[in-house]
Amino acid sequence: MASLKELAKQGEKFLGGHRACAGCGATIIARQVLLAAQYPVVVGAATGCLEVISTIYPYSAWNVPYIHNAFENVAATMSGVEVAYNALKKKGKITKELRFIAFGGDGGTYDIGLQSLSGMIERRHRVLYVCYNNEAYMNTGIQRSSATPYGAHTTTSPAGTKIPGKLQPRKNLTEIIIAHEPAYAAQATIGYWNDLVTKVRKALDANGPSFINIFSPCRLGWAYPPEKTAAITRLAVETCVWPLYEYENGKYRITVKPKEKKPIVEFLKMQGRFSHLLKLKDDTPIKEFQAEVDRIWEKLLKRSAE
């Protein structure tokens, strides 16, 4: 269990001066993940908010080696960086122990980057892939992704007079990745920094591909007051909208169990993206959303009991 004092000892690896909205969750993730790393790391990022706000030429917020290639290929790009490292190490041109971390948003991971990630895991590259999951395409102005929850309003799944927000449930990427049998997989979020730090360290020590899906509030896309960024993630966990668990050599483990499971409405009502659902006379959308959450939570309890 890491202590903040310990983490604070090392210098910052993700600096201020970036262009993120005030209170952006993605940047907190970048900081917490890099602070957790106990090895020197080389970072790759997919196109997306995190990349855009951190590397506007001639300014870079990254205090570690960083590469950006395109939107859909950070996993493939880091696969290449990792094998180059292996090759150069074999030839003695590099001696240090390095680790590799790929950052992608949910769009760059659940959708356009899924194949690249699937290939990276199947080929067993030793890279930690971090999906900072703000549940929509924020950089382009809040479009739906397959991580966008049922009913949420986005600009491509708008709450209109005929259609009440997104019609499909979230793609369960963490389960999809677990079906790939990576060396390590987990869900985390910033509100539980300690849980997050522990998972990052496990992932970097795992001898193979690892994946962490990190719930990442976006004050713009979710429409909530910026100071609530950390608080909102705790509600997501307490309502089981975002269960914290990990998968390691074939076993599931829930790392943070809410004392009492709150109804999702508590989570929804904090955010503008769901406000139309709460206004609807007909509460089936919310019921369906709740049912979906319960179903997945039940399954998780079962799996972790196995």
Ligand X SMILES: Cc1ncc(C[n+]2csc(CCOP(=O)(O)OP(=O)(O)O)c2C)c(N)n1
CB 165 within 8 A of CB 157: yes
CB of 72 or CB of 106, closer to ligand SF4: 106
- Return the H-helix or E-strand segment holding 285: helix 284-305
| Near another protein in 205-244, by CB under 8 A | 219-220, 225-231
Among 140, 172, 275, 304, binds another protein (CB under 8 A): 140
With CB under 8 A, what is the number of residues at the site for another protein?
106
Q: CB of 129: closest distance to ligand SF4 in angstroms?
A: 18
Q: How far apart are the first and last CA of the chain?
A: 26
Tell me, what amino acid is at 247? Y
- The listed partner (a second copy, ligand X, ligand SF4, none) that binds 261, CB under 5 to 8 Å by sort, is none
Question: Is 146 among the residues that bind a second copy (CB under 8 A)?
Answer: yes
Angle at Cα 302 formed by Cα 299 and Cα 305, nearest 5°? Answer: 150
Question: Is 23 among the residues that bind another protein (CB under 8 A)?
Answer: yes
- The listed partner (another protein, ligand X, a second copy, none) that binds 180, CB under 5 to 8 Å by sort, is a second copy
CB of 116 or CB of 139, closer to a second copy: 116
Question: Is 69 among the residues that bind a second copy (CB under 8 A)?
Answer: no
**Beta strands 41-45 and 251-256: pairing type?**
unpaired
CB of 26 or CB of 42, closer to ligand SF4: 26
Collapsing DSSP states into helix, strand and coil, what is residue 186?
A: strand
Place of tokens 């549940």: 135
CB of 89 or CB of 171, closer to a second copy: 171
Short-list 60, 65, 49, 47, CA closest to 18: 60
Collapsing DSSP states into helix, strand and coil, what is residue 163?
A: coil
Give the interface segment with a second copy, choosing from 42-50, 118-126, 127-135, 187-195 (CB under 8 A): 118-126
- The listed partner (another protein, ligand X, a second copy, none) that binds 232, CB under 5 to 8 Å by sort, is none
CB of 25 or CB of 165, closer to ligand SF4: 25
Q: CB of 116: closest distance to another protein in angstroms?
A: 5
| Near another protein in 63-102, by CB under 8 A | 63-73, 75-88, 90-91, 93-94, 96, 98
Among 168, 269, 278, 288, binds a second copy (CB under 8 A): 168
Tell me, what amino acid is at 298? E
CB 213 within 8 A of CB 171: no
- Measured CA distances, 224 to 120, 164, 184 (Å): 35, 20, 33
- Measured CA distances, 216 to 66, 159, 280, 299 (Å): 21, 22, 27, 23
